[in-house]
Amino acid sequence: MERIDGRKTNELRPIRLLTGINRYAEGSVLIEWGETKVLCTASVEEDVPPFLKNSGKGWITAEYAMLPRATQTRKKRDIHRLKLDGRSSEIQRLIGRSLRAACDLSLLGERTITIDCDVLQADGGTRTASVTAGYVALALAVKKLFAEGKLEQYPIRQAIAAVSVGIVQGVPMLDLCYAEDSKADVDMNIIRTDAGGFVELQGTGEGNTFSEQELQQLLDLGKEGTQILFEMQNEALKQANA
Ligand code: UDP
């Protein structure tokens, strides 16, 4: 089956990770993932939430938002609706959980790293782009802390990357753009570690149910995609340090 943009079923959209795009943040990355664009910054604060006070442990948390014109029609800022968008709050919790899995929090010391993910333009896969670029921003901030001698041991244990997969017109495929996502029968976000484990699977049969065999096909596509993302993350981190 021909995909909307001519990709193979196991092919990612073109992806670029640009680091160091904010002069103030301890880590910053702009990810361009096809037509999806997300700016991720990592900010370090020498404090932890109340439940971690005097625990010796650090914390990693995330915030996610879409700019009004990230979408085809203007989306009102939350402040004008006087509430946090339910979708955004679900997504930011996913990003926070995913990125905490990268790190041994007891080695971070009592400090918080906040990953802010702001979607400049959305075309499907904004949460997976946020996790993937958020990891790079986090790693940059942690490297900076380590270089400054603020950490005794390097706390990052594994890289984290995420990709979407789905079944569109009966065909399992990797990395759905919005046009594919909006007509997908099954839609799944896969968050993995470079050590081979899964951090989270968000899979829904929206238009149809899916079989165990299809689930396996989706997981295989997700593994293939995240493997490439780990290489891209490594490359971006290497270049940022050069
Ligand atoms: N979308 C939109 N307006 C919204 C929410 C979503 O235009 O308020 C589009 C956008 O392109 C987004 C896609 O729908 O990337 C899929 O949204 P979903 O909630 O599945 O999250 P995502 O795939 O971005 O992680």
139 falls within a domain = yes
Atom of ligand 1 nearest to the CA of 176: 23
Does residue 124's CB lie within 6 angstroms of at least one atom of ligand 1? yes
Per-residue pLDDT of the chain (242 residues; tens, 9 = 90+): 789 999 999 999 999 999 999 999 999 999 999 999 999 999 999 999 999 999 999 999 999 999 999 999 999 998 888 888 999 999 999 999 999 999 999 999 999 999 999 999 999 999 999 999 999 999 999 999 999 999 999 999 999 999 999 999 999 999 999 999 999 999 999 999 999 999 999 999 998 999 999 999 999 999 999 999 999 999 999 999 87
4 falls within a domain = no
Q: How many domains does the chain have?
A: 1
Residue nearest to atom 13 of ligand 1 (CA): 124
How far apart are the CA of 156 and the centre of ligand 1, in A? Answer: 30
- Quote the pLDDT of residue 120: 98
3-state secondary structure of 197: coil
Structure-block tokens of residue 240 = 């940022």
Atom of ligand 1 nearest to the CA of 124: 15
152 falls within a domain = yes
Atom of ligand 1 nearest to the CA of 36: 15
| Residue span of the structural domain in which 111 resides | 15-241
Atom of ligand 1 nearest to the CA of 125: 23
Which of 35, 180, 181, 182 most suits a substitution to test ligand 1, by most atoms within 8 Å of the C-beta?
Answer: 181
Taking the C-alpha atoms of residue 167 and residue 170, their distance in angstroms, rounded to an integer, is 6
- Quote the pLDDT of residue 227: 98
9 falls within a domain = no
Does residue 122's CB lie within 6 angstroms of at least one atom of ligand 1? yes
Residue nearest to atom 3 of ligand 1 (CA): 71
198 falls within a domain = yes
- Quote the pLDDT of residue 83: 83
223 falls within a domain = yes
Residue 30 and residue 38 in contact, taking contact as beta carbons nearer than 8 Å: yes
Does residue 202's CB lie within 6 angstroms of at least one atom of ligand 1? no
How far apart are the CA of 141 and the centre of ligand 1, in A? Answer: 28
Does residue 127's CB lie within 6 angstroms of at least one atom of ligand 1? yes
Does residue 87's CB lie within 6 angstroms of at least one atom of ligand 1? yes
190 falls within a domain = yes
Listed in sequence order, the residues at least 6 apart from 64 whose beta carbon sits closer than 8 Å to its beta carbon are 88, 91, 92, 95, 117, 118, 119, 126, 127, 130
CATH number (domain holding residue 37) = 3.30.230.70
3 falls within a domain = no
Residue nearest to atom 24 of ligand 1 (CA): 126
Taking the C-alpha atoms of residue 13 and residue 36, their distance in angstroms, rounded to an integer, is 10
How far apart are the CA of 70 and the centre of ligand 1, in A? Answer: 10
3-state secondary structure of 72: coil
Residue nearest to atom 2 of ligand 1 (CA): 71
Cα angle value 138/139/141 (rounded, 5°): 65
How far apart are the CA of 218 and the centre of ligand 1, in A? Answer: 20
